[in-house]
Structure 1
Amino acid sequence: MSYRIQSGDTLSGIARKYGTSVGALMKANPQIKNADLIYTGKSLNIPGSKDSFEPGKTGGGKPGGSTGGTTGSSGAQQTTGVNGGNAPTGSAFDIAKSHLGKNAGSLKMEKGGVGSDMEDWVPNNVNCANFVSACLEQAGLITNGQHDNSVMGLQRKLDADPDFKRVSLQDAKPGDVVSMKTPGGQHVVMFAGWKDGKAQFIGSNNVNSDGSQRITISSMNYPIMSIHQHR
Structure 2
Amino acid sequence: MSYRVQSGDNLSTLALRYGTTVDALQKANPQIKDVDLIYTGDTLNIPGAKDGFDSSPSRSGPNLTGGTTNQPANMTTGEGTKGPGGSPFDIARSHLNKNAGSLKLEGSGVGADMEDWVPNNVNCANFVSACLEQAGQISDAQHDNSVMGLQAKLDRDPNFKRVSLQDAKPGDVVSMKVGSGQHVVMFAGWENGKPMFIGSNNVNSDGSQRITISSMNYPIMSVHQYQG
Question: 2:80 maps to which residue?
Answer: 76
Question: 1:183 maps to which residue?
Answer: 179
Q: Which runs of 5+ in 1 are unaligned?
A: 57-61, 80-86
* 2:64 paired with 1:54: yes
1:27-176 aligned within 5 A: 27-35=27-35, 37-40=36-39, 43=42, 45-48=44-47, 54-56=64-66, 62-71=67-76, 75-79=79-83, 87-88=84-85, 90-176=86-172
Alignment deviations for residues 111-133 of structure 1 (CA, whole Å, 9 cap, x no partner): 10000111111121111111111
Indicate conservation of the 8 Å contact 2:81/2:225, yes or no.
no
For the structure 1 residues 4 and 168, does the alpha-carbon distance in structure 2 shift closer, same or farther, using more than 3 Å as the test? Answer: same
Alignment deviations for residues 69-118 of structure 1 (CA, whole Å, 9 cap, x no partner): 3455x712232xxxxxxx22x11111001101111111111110000111
How far residue 47 of structure 1 moved from its aligned partner, in angstroms, is 4.6
* 2:227 paired with 1:222: no
DSSP 3-state at the match of 2:151: helix
Identity of aligned residues (%): 68
Question: 1:59 maps to which residue?
Answer: none
Distance in 2 (CA, whole Å) between partners of 1:77 and 1:170 is: 15
Number of aligned residue pairs: give it.
213
Q: Note the aligned Cα RMSD (angstroms).
A: 2.4
How far residue 44 of structure 1 moved from its aligned partner, in angstroms, is 5.5
Question: 2:56 maps to which residue?
Answer: none
How far residue 229 of structure 1 moved from its aligned partner, in angstroms, is 0.7
Question: 2:53 maps to which residue?
Answer: none
Letter in 2 for 1:104: A
How far residue 188 of structure 1 moved from its aligned partner, in angstroms, is 0.8
* 2:23 paired with 1:23: yes
How far residue 14 of structure 1 moved from its aligned partner, in angstroms, is 3.1
Q: Which runs of 5+ in 2 are unaligned?
A: 49-62
Indicate conservation of the 8 Å contact 1:101/1:214, yes or no.
yes
Alignment deviations for residues 4-43 of structure 1 (CA, whole Å, 9 cap, x no partner): 65554322223344554321232234454443x3154584
For the structure 1 residues 40 and 184, does the alpha-carbon distance in structure 2 shift closer, same or farther, using more than 3 Å as the test? Answer: closer
**Higher deviation after alignment, 170-179 or 114-123:** 114-123
Please, what TM-score do these two structures have when normalized by structure 1? Answer: 0.81
